[in-house]
Chains A and B, each alone.
Chain A
């Protein structure tokens, strides 16, 4: 069967005696069937959250960013925290698809499609924050190097903020293309099975006339591999460049050469936690128990454990380097004794508990292979990684070089509202996705199905 050799000593990646037809039907089921009550309730809650967010965004744009909790000392806070958090979440999808494809990890096949979707939806949320933070979002196109009415007004290519524009937009568009190219054969499968004329028309348009010819598959495999090769450095570059927003500055606690690898590891850490969170629900709701198995959960937990370890190492390095620098201002960085007992002690300890202590439970095999505990730990990591970004930004800014301007930060309802609004939009997109898209890359998944099983079933 195809190019896949499954070792007899390894656990199977697909449970049960599945045939090609079973896989097709399982992927088609959520698209053909009507949505359940749970789906409608989840969509309703997400729409409410989104509407609140939209209201807060309009209020911000109409009044100005003074409606946020920012002050002259802490001039970046929730907005950039959310931006970095969402970008970080957006890292796992392309990592699973691209890096694990290059490493020939077949277990990615059950989860890559949903993880890529999550990436795209998360990057959309991330992109909103810098645009809103501009205060005048109708001038957002000024960050692009396009001729304008002001003579020679060009963006500054020395600025890491402009590098961010290029990095995030390239990451978003290349990830979307990578995702869509993989979707074409699966859209064709739906096109050939669906009976509703309207749906058939839509899937016909989306499937681009795919026929599954030998030449199409040969080229498909080649572009998948090349896109994986292109996306791999892209994944690492994006959060590296996001970290440059901080590390190229002269703010204490930010001006750190360890930030790029530390941010990339942190992004993968949080991205996999979000994949666990979403797949934990999708597995149950869409009845994908045969495809998303304990092995998948365990492999993801191993990556979480590894990247969590790298993040922990980075925290220790930050602590030691701050102490070793001898600078009195470095005493107040986000990972220091002063932070642990200062006004933001709760944010500091949230980071320690969620990102360092709790993930250590994944060393225990039974927890690592438990759906329930993996889900709980993943949610805690999501929270912890939000606090990490909050600590880096707010704690470092709150004690700047001028002690007379040291101050605290209290978010306004608008700060909170916009964040919740983005969570709402993210879940709206995800819920619509699981009802209309093939949630598993069925054409690739069929390549790892053992033909013996089908033969056996046919002979019965």
Chain B
């Protein structure tokens, strides 16, 4: 094998526990790095083992919800108090804060609406998921029953390949 160039390896497993063990073996090995792990379902603790950063989606959903809250408050104030106040059943039409019990349901719904939808859009953008995009998984079996580690190795890969196979890897594919 060429010792100077980066070699890309696809290591396939059929069990997520053995995959986690495989990742630990790779991490102990010098001159190689894990590019990505593909799996048919979320694997518990994988993010910690791969040291993935905490996502900011929960914070973003709070920001979007706050935006919806402000927008709904502004909307109800503008329509019901500022632009065209009307006496409806004697409810206070001159003060937004005094008539707020009537506005709470709509403010709540709009806050949830913005929070949920904008968070999902952020999620799709962060994951680069859009209608019609070509599949990211290098092997179609990863949406079925196989788990794949994609790694780059600088050094001779033979030793690592043998080690991974001994520790439960079902298949190792060498890509250039």
Give A residues with C-beta under 8 Å from B.
Answer: 1-3, 19-21, 24, 145, 152, 154-160, 162-163, 166-167, 170, 173-174, 177-178, 181, 184-185, 188-189, 191-193, 204-223, 226-227, 230-231, 233-234, 237, 241, 244, 443-444, 446-447, 451, 454-455, 458
Partner of B38, one of A177, A204, A209, A211: A211
Bound Cα distance A233, B107 (Å): 13
Q: Which of A157, A173, A189, A241 has the most CB of B within 10 A?
A: A157
- Having A173-B117, A192-B144, one finds 20 other A-B pairs with CB under 8 Å, namely A20-B14, A152-B83, A152-B84, A154-B80, A154-B83, A157-B80, A158-B89, A163-B106, A166-B105, A174-B113, A208-B129, A208-B131, A212-B137, A214-B46, A214-B50, A218-B42, A218-B52, A222-B58, A244-B105, A451-B15
Could you say which residues of chain B place their CB within 8 Å of the CB of A222? 55, 57-58
> When A and B form their complex, what is the total count of cross-chain residue pairs whose Cβ atoms lie within 8 Å?
211
Most buried by A among B80, B91, B99: B80
Top 9 nearest A-B pairs (CB, nearest first) are: A211-B136, A209-B133, A3-B44, A20-B145, A192-B140, A208-B129, A211-B137, A217-B42, A163-B105
Tell whether A223 pairs with B119 under 8 Å between CB atoms, given A2-B44, A154-B84, A230-B61. Answer: yes
Please tell me if the beta carbons of A233 and B112 are within 8 angstroms of each other in the complex.
yes
Task: Find out whether the CB atom of B132 lies under 8 angstroms from the CB atom of A188.
Answer: no
Known: A204-B132, A211-B135. A145 touches B110 (CB 8 A): no
Contact A219/B117 with A3-B44, A191-B135, A447-B42 known, Cβ cut-off 8 Å: no
The distance from the CB of B127 to the nearest CB of chain A, in whole angstroms, is: 5
Cα of A20 to Cα of B113 in the assembled complex, Å: 36
Q: With the chains together, A160 CA to B50 CA distance in Å?
A: 50
- Minimum CB–CB distance for B26 against chain A, Å: 14
Nearest Cβ in chain A — how far from B1, in angstroms? 27
Contact with B108, one of A157, A158, A237 (Cβ below 8 angstroms) = A237
Option from B40, B65, B132 in Cβ contact (under 8 Å) with A446? B40
Cα-based distance from A2 to B76 in the complex (angstroms)? 47
| B residues 105-156 touching A (CB-CB < 8 Å) | 105-106, 108-110, 112-113, 115-117, 119-120, 123-124, 126-137, 140-145
Select from chain A the residue with minimum beta-carbon distance to B132: A205
Which residues from chain B contact A227 at a C-beta distance below 8 Å?
A: 116, 119-120
**Contact between chains at A226 and B145 (CB < 8 Å):** no
Contact B127 A219 (CB under 8 A): yes
C-alpha spacing A14/B40, complex, angstroms: 18
Q: How far is the CA of A432 from the CA of B62 in the complex (A)?
A: 36
Inter-subunit contact B132/A219 (CB<8 Å): no
Q: A212-B40, A226-B57 are in contact. Are A174 and B117 (CB under 8 A)?
A: yes
B28 within 8 Å of A (CB atoms)? no
Could you name 19 residue pairs across A and B whose Cβ atoms are closer than 8 Å? A2-B42, A24-B144, A154-B84, A157-B79, A158-B91, A158-B102, A174-B112, A181-B123, A184-B129, A207-B135, A214-B37, A214-B47, A216-B136, A218-B42, A221-B42, A223-B120, A233-B108, A237-B108, A237-B109
Interface residue count for B (Cβ, 8 Å)?
68
Residue on A with the closest CB to B34?
Answer: A214
Determine the chain A residues whose CB is within 8 A of the CB of B110 once the complex forms: 166, 170
Partner of A219, one of B57, B83, B144: B57
Give the residue of A160, A212, A455 whose beta carbon is less than 8 angstroms from that of B143.
A212
Residues of B within 8 A of A173 (CB): 113, 117
Give the residues in chain A near B103, CB-CB below 8 Å. 157
Q: Distance (Å) between the CB of A455 and the closest chain B CB? A: 7
| Chain B, residue nearest A151 (CB) | B84
* A223 touching B131, Cβ below 8 Å: no
Q: Which residues in chain B, 27-47, are within 8 Å of chain A measured between CB atoms?
A: 36-47
Query: B141 contacts which chain A residues (CB < 8 A)?
Result: 192
> Are B124 and A208 interface neighbours, CB within 8 A?
yes
Closest to B75 in A: A145
Name which residue of chain A comes closest to B45, CB basis: A3
Q: Which residues of A contact B37 (CB under 8 A)?
A: 213-214
Q: Which residues of B contact A177 (CB under 8 A)?
A: 116-117, 120
Tell me whether A20 and B58 are in contact (CB under 8 A): no
Q: Which of B61, B76, B137 has the most chain A CB atoms inside 10 A of its CB? A: B137
Q: Which residues of B contact A208 (CB under 8 A)?
A: 124, 129-133
* Chain A residue contacts of B115, Cβ below 8 A: 230
Q: Are A2 and B43 in contact (CB under 8 A)?
A: yes
Alpha-carbon distance between A233 and B46 when the two chains are bound, in angstroms: 31
**Distance in angstroms between the alpha carbons of A330 and B133 in the assembled complex:** 62
B42 touches A158 (CB 8 A): no
Determine whether the beta carbon of B47 is less than 8 Å from that of A218: yes
| Interfacial chain A residues near B52, Cβ < 8 Å | 214-215, 218
Residue numbers in B under 8 Å from A21 (CB-CB):
144-145
Q: How far is the CA of A216 from the CA of B79 in the complex (A)?
A: 42
Q: Is the CB of A215 within 8 A of B15?
A: no
CB distance from B41 to the nearest CB of A (A): 5
Q: Determine how close the nearest CB of chain B comes to the CB of A65; give it in whole angstroms.
A: 25
Choose from B41, B84, B136, B144 the contact partner of A210 (Cβ within 8 Å).
B136
Contact partner, B88, options A156, A189, A237, Cβ 8 Å: A156
Residues in A neighbouring B38, C-beta threshold 8 A = 211-214
